[in-house]
């Protein structure tokens, strides 16, 4: 089981805090945006006498609410096409274990969300990576590269759109081409769309479920964690119109009994979040993105691509070993009694040796904190060059 590059440096961050240092957490996608009040109120007002199991697929009222949400954004699904899961993570695990058998292969553009590695271990399947490069801002690799990776063990393609960890956004045209490959080779096209609401610069998001003619091949992964800034509720869902996929996934859902009740209560209430909430959140993330990318690119030797979505970017640093640097900056460095926790990017690749000089940054802090964090990185690089 691979360690998480996002969390494995936590002991060093804890030690830094014990020394009295302020640690800016840019390593993890935990927004500091306030959870919608309507969700918090729903939990506070819970008045049932027993905290019961729900249906293994999730509360019917919640699934109907989710179906209505999807229909309002042009995704035509019924509540029976939805299984509520313990976070998007469980939805991904269910999708992998349902769509693939042990030893089967899944093609994923890298760098990718690091826990895809972990989920593939859970599922006893093999990730076949296709490398996107920071030099062209992590654009989707050519379709010929996907086709060249297909073997008789290939069963699925998985994309994250918008992407964690790169912030890339795949266009409708690109998804249409992936659709053609999926249909031609009888593959599932799994789309992790938990950052759907965070798309910038006038771009629009296309869901795999909006592509025509792919109903039997499409599997959507979703989550409330980032949309409503409620990561701790652990609410996600798996969505597909493929009845066989849903029937098989339900067996896994039954084996874990039911998704968390209070998470479902919060998730269902969150569907009533007013549109003004998202306007404010959108404006805040635009400001954070523009600030952090602009300021990082002013540092000598640093390159930070401009994300089109989500709230992450992978940046290159003028160093040879990002993992060593990320530990060193926590353990041995501080600037004005402040330091930064970053995620070494090597853990977001499946190909050994890649990402050695890259880190993932989550711009989930307010601009004032980002300002201090970027300054810490700038000063740390000056010292690190000398020490290394």
DSSP-assigned states of every residue in 208-227: GGGSTT-TTTEEEEEESTTT
Identify whether residues 239 and 186 lie together within a single domain: yes
Mean pLDDT of the chain, nearest integer: 96
Identify whether residues 371 and 259 lie together within a single domain: no
Residue 289 CB neighbours (<10 A): 25
Angle separating helix axes 322-331 and 10-18, nearest 10 degrees: 20
Q: Where in the sequence is the domain holding 299, given as residue range(s)?
A: 10-34+276-387
Per-residue pLDDT, 388 = 59
Instruction: Give tens-digit pLDDT for 236-283.
Output: 999 999 999 999 999 999 999 999 999 999 999 999 999 999 999 999
Residue 26, pLDDT > 70, answer: yes
Identify whether residues 254 and 107 lie together within a single domain: yes
What is the pTM (predicted TM-score) of this model? 0.95
Identify whether residues 209 and 284 lie together within a single domain: no
Identify whether residues 136 and 148 lie together within a single domain: yes
Residue 166, pLDDT > 70, answer: yes
**Range 16-43 average pLDDT:** 94
Identify whether 4 is part of a domain. no
Identify whether residues 144 and 71 lie together within a single domain: yes
Identify whether residues 109 and 210 lie together within a single domain: yes
Residue 6, pLDDT > 80, answer: no
Q: Give the residues across from 110 on adjacent strands.
A: 131
CA gap 265, 272 in Å, rounded: 12
Q: Are residues 215 and 189 in contact, defined by beta-carbon separation less than 8 angstroms?
A: no
Place of tokens 């209505």: 68
What is the three-class DSSP state of 132?
A: coil
Pull the structure tokens for residue 183: 């249909």
CA gap 386, 388 in Å, rounded: 6
CA gap 260, 282 in Å, rounded: 28
Identify whether residues 53 and 174 lie together within a single domain: yes
Question: Which of 223, 254, 270 corresponds to the end of one domain?
Answer: 270
**Range 293-321 average pLDDT:** 97
Identify whether residues 21 and 156 lie together within a single domain: no
Identify whether residues 56 and 195 lie together within a single domain: yes
Identify whether residues 91 and 29 lie together within a single domain: no
Identify whether 41 is part of a domain. yes
Residue 30, pLDDT > 80, answer: yes
**Range 167-183 average pLDDT:** 97
Total domain count, the chain: 2
CA gap 187, 179 in Å, rounded: 9
Identify whether residues 252 and 364 lie together within a single domain: no
CA gap 242, 68 in Å, rounded: 19
């Amino acid at each position: 089981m691979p360690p998480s590059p996002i969390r494995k440096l936590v002991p060093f961050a804890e030690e830094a805090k014990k020394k009295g240092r302020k640690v800016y957490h840019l390593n993890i996608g935990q927004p500091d945006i306030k959870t919608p009040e309507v969700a918090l109120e729903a939990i506070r007002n819970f008045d049932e006498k027993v905290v019961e199991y729900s249906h293994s697929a999730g509360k019917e009222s919640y699934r109907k609410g989710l179906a209505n949400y999807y229909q309002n954004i042009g995704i035509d699904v019924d509540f029976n096409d939805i299984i509520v899961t313990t976070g998007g993570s469980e939805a991904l695990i269910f999708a992998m274990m349902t769509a693939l058998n042990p030893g089967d292969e899944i093609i994923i553009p890298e760098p990718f969300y690091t826990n895809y590695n972990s989920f593939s271990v859970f599922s006893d399947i093999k990730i076949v990576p296709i490398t996107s490069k920071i030099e062209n801002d992590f654009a989707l690799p050519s379709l010929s590269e996907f086709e060249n990776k297909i073997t008789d063990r290939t069963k699925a393609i998985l994309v994250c759109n918008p992407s964690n960890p790169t912030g890339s956004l795949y266009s409708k045209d690109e998804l249409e081409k992936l659709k053609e490959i999926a249909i031609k080779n009888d593959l599932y096209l799994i789309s992790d769309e938990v950052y759907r609401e965070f798309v910038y610069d006038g771009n629009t998001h296309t869901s795999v479920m909006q592509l025509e003619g792919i109903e039997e091949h499409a599997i959507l992964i979703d989550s409330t964690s980032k949309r409503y800034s409620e990561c701790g509720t652990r609410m996600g869902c798996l969505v597909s119109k493929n009845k066989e996929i849903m029937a098989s996934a339900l067996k896994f859902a039954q084996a874990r009994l039911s998704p968390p009740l209070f998470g479902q209560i919060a998730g269902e209430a969150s569907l009533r979040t007013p549109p003004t909430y998202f306007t404010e959140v959108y404006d805040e993330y635009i400001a954070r993105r523009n600030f952090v990318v602009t300021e990082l690119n002013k540092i000598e030797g640093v390159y930070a691509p401009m994300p089109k979505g989500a709230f992450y970017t992978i940046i290159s640093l003028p160093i040879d070993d990002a993992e060593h640097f990320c530990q060193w900056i926590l353990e041995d460095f501080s600037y004005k009694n402040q330091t930064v926790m970053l995620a070494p990017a090597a853990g977001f690749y499946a190909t050994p040796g890649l990402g050695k000089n890259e880190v993932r940054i989550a711009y989930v802090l307010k601009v004032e904190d980002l300002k201090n964090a970027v300054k810490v990185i700038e000063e740390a690089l000056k010292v690190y060059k000398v020490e290394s």
